[in-house]
Structure 1
Amino acid sequence: MSLNRRDFLKTTAASAAVAGTVSVFTTTQAEAKIGELQYEGETGKWMSSTCQGCTSWCPIQGLVVDGKVVKVRGNPNSPSMGRICPRPHLAIQQVYDPDRVKTPLKRTNPKKGKGIDPKFVPISWDEAINTIAEQILGLIKAGESHKFVLMRGRYTHMNEILYNTFPKLIGSPNNISHASICAKTEKFGRYYTEGFWDYADFDLDNTRYILGWGTDMVSSNRQIPWFMNQQGYVKDRAKITIIDPRLSATAAKADRWAPIIPGTDSALAVAIAHVILSEGRWNKSFVGDFQDGKNYFIPGSTVPTEVIVDEKSLPVVFEENHTYGVVAWWNLELKERTPEWAEKITGISAKDIRTIAREFSDAGSKAISWVTTGASMQIRGAYASLAAHALNGLVGSVDAVGGTLQGSSAPSGKTPDIKPYLPAEFEAALKQKKIDQRGTLKLGAFNKKTGGGVVTQQVADSILTDKPYDVKVAIGYWNNFVFSINGANVWEKAMEKLPFYAHITTHLAEMSMYADIVLPAKMHMFERYGFSKNKQNLQGYLTIHQPLVKSFADAKTDETEIPFLIAQALAKKGFDGPLRYFQDNFKDPESGKAPTTPEEFDLYAVKQFTKPIWSGESNEKGDTINSWNELLDKGVWKTKKYKIGKKVDNFATETKKFEFYSETLKKVLIEHAEKNKVTVDEALEALNYTCRGELGFVPHYEEAVRHGDEKTYPFIFAEHRSRLNREGRSQNAPWYYEIKDVDPGDVAGKDVTKINPLDGKKLGLKDGDKIKITSVQGSIESEVKLWEGIRPGVIVKCYGQGHWAFGRVGSEVFGSKPRGANNNNLHVYDFERMVGSTPRHGGNARVKIEKI
Structure 2
Amino acid sequence: MDRRLFLQMVGAGGLAATSVACPRFLSKAKGGPEPPAPFGIPTSCELCPNKCSVLAMVEDGRVRKLNPNPENPKSRGMLCARGNAAIQQVYDPDRLKQPLIRAGARGEGKWRPVSWDEAFDYAAARLRVTRDKYGPEGTLWSSTEGFQEVFFKNLGMAFGSPNILRHPSLCLASVNLAYSVTFGTVPSFDLLNAKYVIMAGANRFESIITPDTMDLIGGVMERKAKFVYLDPRFTVTASKADEWYPIRPGTDMAFILAMIQVIISEERHDKVFVDQWTLGFEQLAEHVKGCTPEWAEGETGIPARDIRRIAREFADAGHRAVFYAGRRSSWYQNDFQMRRAQAILNAIVGNWDREGGMVPNRKVAKGEFLFLPWDDPKASRVDEIEKAFPLASAKDGAYLPLRENVLKGKPYPVKAWMIYKQDPLNAVPDQGKTLRMMEGMDFIGVVDIAMSDTAWYADVVFPESHYLERTDPIEVMPGIWPAAVLRQQVVKPIHDTRPCLEIAQGLAKRLGLSDYFDYTIDQWIEAEAKELPVENGLEYMKKHGVVAFSEPKYGTTRNAVYRFVTKSGKIELFSERLQEAGHDPLPAYAAPAQPPAGRYRMILGRKATMTHAALANLPWLHEHNPENDLWLNAGEAARLGIRTGDLVEVSSTAGTVRLKARATEEIRPDCVFMLHGFGKKSPWLRSVHNVGAADAVLLETAWDKVSGNAAMHETFVKVVKV
The CA deviation at 1:727 is 2.8
Distance 1:346 1:819 in 2: 35
Distance 1:207 1:350 in 2: 25
Instruction: Please say if residues 446 and 836 of structure 1, whose CA atoms lie closer than 8 Å, have aligned partners that are also in contact.
Output: no
Equivalence for 2:646: 769
The secondary structure found in structure 1 opposite 2:40 is strand
The CA deviation at 1:47 is 1.4
Distance 2:641 2:667 in 1: 17
What code does the residue aligned with 1:325 have? Answer: G
Deviations 1:617-670 (A, max 9, x none): x23xxxxx5242321221111136443122245221122222211133234x1x
Task: Give the counterpart of 1:634 among 531, 538, 544.
Answer: 544
Task: Give the counterpart of 2:181 among 192, 196, 199.
Answer: 192
The secondary structure found in structure 1 opposite 2:273 is coil
Equivalence for 1:173: 162
Equivalence for 2:51: 57
The CA deviation at 1:18 is 7.5
The CA deviation at 1:20 is 6.6
Task: Give the counterpart of 2:596 among 684, 705, 710.
Answer: 710
The CA deviation at 1:767 is 1.4
Distance 1:828 1:142 in 2: 33
Distance 1:763 1:719 in 2: 22
Gaps of 5+ in 2: 1-9, 27-37
The secondary structure found in structure 2 opposite 1:554 is coil
Instruction: Please say if residues 195 and 356 of structure 2, whose CA atoms lie closer than 8 Å, have aligned partners that are also in contact.
Output: yes
Distance 1:819 1:369 in 2: 37
The CA deviation at 1:226 is 5.3
Distance 1:374 1:704 in 2: 20
The CA deviation at 1:481 is 0.4
Instruction: Please say if residues 20 and 249 of structure 1, whose CA atoms lie closer than 8 Å, have aligned partners that are also in contact.
Output: yes
Equivalence for 2:231: 244
Distance 1:444 1:483 in 2: 24
Equivalence for 1:280: 267
Q: 1:465 to 1:739 in 2, by over 3 A?
A: same
Deviates more, 1:790-799 or 1:99-108: 790-799
Task: Give the counterpart of 1:470 among 376, 388, 413.
Answer: 413
Equivalence for 2:446: 503
Q: 1:51 to 1:445 in 2, by over 3 A?
A: farther
Deviations 1:223-242 (A, max 9, x none): 42453255144332411111
Deviations 1:474-515 (A, max 9, x none): 211101101210111100111011001111111111111221
Task: Give the counterpart of 1:820 among 674, 692, 698.
Answer: 692
Distance 1:362 1:757 in 2: 39
Distance 1:730 1:543 in 2: 23
Instruction: Please say if residues 208 and 363 of structure 1, whose CA atoms lie closer than 8 Å, have aligned partners that are also in contact.
Output: yes
Task: Give the counterpart of 1:121 among 99, 102, 112.
Answer: 112
Distance 1:388 1:31 in 2: 32
Deviates more, 1:639-648 or 1:208-217: 639-648
Distance 1:358 1:232 in 2: 24
Equivalence for 1:605: 524
Distance 1:493 1:375 in 2: 23
The secondary structure found in structure 2 opposite 1:29 is coil
Q: 1:143 to 1:471 in 2, by over 3 A?
A: closer
1:851 is aligned to 2:721: yes
Distance 2:701 2:308 in 1: 36
Distance 1:31 1:835 in 2: 38
Equivalence for 2:30: none
What code does the residue aligned with 2:613 have? Answer: G
CA RMSD between the two structures? 2.5
Instruction: Please say if residues 160 and 415 of structure 1, whose CA atoms lie closer than 8 Å, have aligned partners that are also in contact.
Output: no
Distance 2:25 2:544 in 1: 11
> Structure 1 segments of 4 or more deviating over 4 A?
17-21, 30-33, 139-143, 373-376
What code does the residue aligned with 2:696 have? Answer: N
Distance 2:593 2:709 in 1: 14
Task: Give the counterpart of 2:487 among 542, 545, 550.
Answer: 545
Distance 2:709 2:15 in 1: 31
What code does the residue aligned with 2:213 have? Answer: F
1:652 is aligned to 2:529: no
Q: 1:404 to 1:579 in 2, by over 3 A?
A: same
Task: Give the counterpart of 2:220 among 220, 234, 255.
Answer: 234
Equivalence for 1:297: none
Task: Give the counterpart of 2:95 among 81, 93, 100.
Answer: 100
Q: 1:226 to 1:382 in 2, by over 3 A?
A: closer
Instruction: Please say if residues 774 and 848 of structure 1, whose CA atoms lie closer than 8 Å, have aligned partners that are also in contact.
Output: yes
The secondary structure found in structure 2 opposite 1:93 is helix
Equivalence for 1:362: 316
Distance 1:392 1:211 in 2: 11
Instruction: Please say if residues 44 and 487 of structure 2, whose CA atoms lie closer than 8 Å, have aligned partners that are also in contact.
Output: yes
The secondary structure found in structure 2 opposite 1:719 is strand
Instruction: Please say if residues 190 and 356 of structure 2, whose CA atoms lie closer than 8 Å, have aligned partners that are also in contact.
Output: yes
The equivalences for 1:368-387 within 5 A come to 368-373=322-327, 376-387=330-341
Distance 1:643 1:159 in 2: 31
What code does the residue aligned with 2:389 have? Answer: G
Distance 2:196 2:291 in 1: 23
Task: Give the counterpart of 2:701 among 804, 807, 829.
Answer: 829
Equivalence for 1:151: 142
Instruction: Please say if residues 631 and 667 of structure 2, whose CA atoms lie closer than 8 Å, have aligned partners that are also in contact.
Output: yes
Equivalence for 2:4: none
Instruction: Please say if residues 24 and 229 of structure 1, whose CA atoms lie closer than 8 Å, have aligned partners that are also in contact.
Output: no
What code does the residue aligned with 2:72 have? Answer: S
Distance 1:31 1:837 in 2: 37
What code does the residue aligned with 2:618 have? Answer: A
What code does the residue aligned with 2:291 have? Answer: R
The CA deviation at 1:50 is 1.4
1:733 is aligned to 2:618: yes
Distance 2:231 2:390 in 1: 27
TM-score with structure 1 length normalisation? 0.78
Task: Give the counterpart of 1:697 among 585, 602, 612.
Answer: 585
Deviates more, 1:202-211 or 1:830-839: 202-211
Instruction: Please say if residues 83 and 229 of structure 1, whose CA atoms lie closer than 8 Å, have aligned partners that are also in contact.
Output: no
The CA deviation at 1:106 is 0.8
Aligned residues: 697
Distance 2:666 2:468 in 1: 35
The CA deviation at 1:140 is 4.9
Percent of aligned positions that are identical = 27
The CA deviation at 1:205 is 3.7
1:327 is aligned to 2:282: yes
Deviations 1:82-133 (A, max 9, x none): 1222210122222211011111111122x33xxx414111011001111122
The secondary structure found in structure 2 opposite 1:580 is helix
The CA deviation at 1:45 is 6.6
What code does the residue aligned with 1:151 have? Answer: S
Equivalence for 2:5: none
Distance 1:93 1:569 in 2: 35
Instruction: Please say if residues 54 and 66 of structure 2, whose CA atoms lie closer than 8 Å, have aligned partners that are also in contact.
Output: yes
Instruction: Please say if residues 375 and 384 of structure 1, whose CA atoms lie closer than 8 Å, have aligned partners that are also in contact.
Output: no
Distance 1:143 1:261 in 2: 48
The secondary structure found in structure 2 opposite 1:262 is coil
Gaps of 5+ in 1: 1-16, 34-43, 288-319, 587-600, 620-624, 670-679, 685-695, 741-748, 813-817
The CA deviation at 1:346 is 1.4
Instruction: Please say if residues 164 and 396 of structure 2, whose CA atoms lie closer than 8 Å, have aligned partners that are also in contact.
Output: no
Equivalence for 2:504: 563
The secondary structure found in structure 1 opposite 2:654 is coil
Q: 1:831 to 1:369 in 2, by over 3 A?
A: same
The equivalences for 1:273-672 within 5 A come to 273-287=260-274, 320-331=275-286, 333-373=287-327, 376-414=330-368, 416=370, 418-419=372-373, 422=375, 430-440=377-387, 443-444=388-389, 446-447=391-392, 453-536=396-479, 538-558=480-500, 560-570=501-511, 575=512, 578-583=513-518, 586=519, 601-613=520-532, 618-619=533-534, 625-639=535-549, 641-648=551-558, 650-667=563-580, 669=581
Instruction: Please say if residues 151 and 476 of structure 1, whose CA atoms lie closer than 8 Å, have aligned partners that are also in contact.
Output: yes
What code does the residue aligned with 1:334 have? Answer: V
Q: 1:374 to 1:416 in 2, by over 3 A?
A: closer
The CA deviation at 1:139 is 4.5
Instruction: Please say if residues 445 and 453 of structure 1, whose CA atoms lie closer than 8 Å, have aligned partners that are also in contact.
Output: no
Instruction: Please say if residues 446 and 453 of structure 1, whose CA atoms lie closer than 8 Å, have aligned partners that are also in contact.
Output: no
Distance 1:125 1:225 in 2: 40
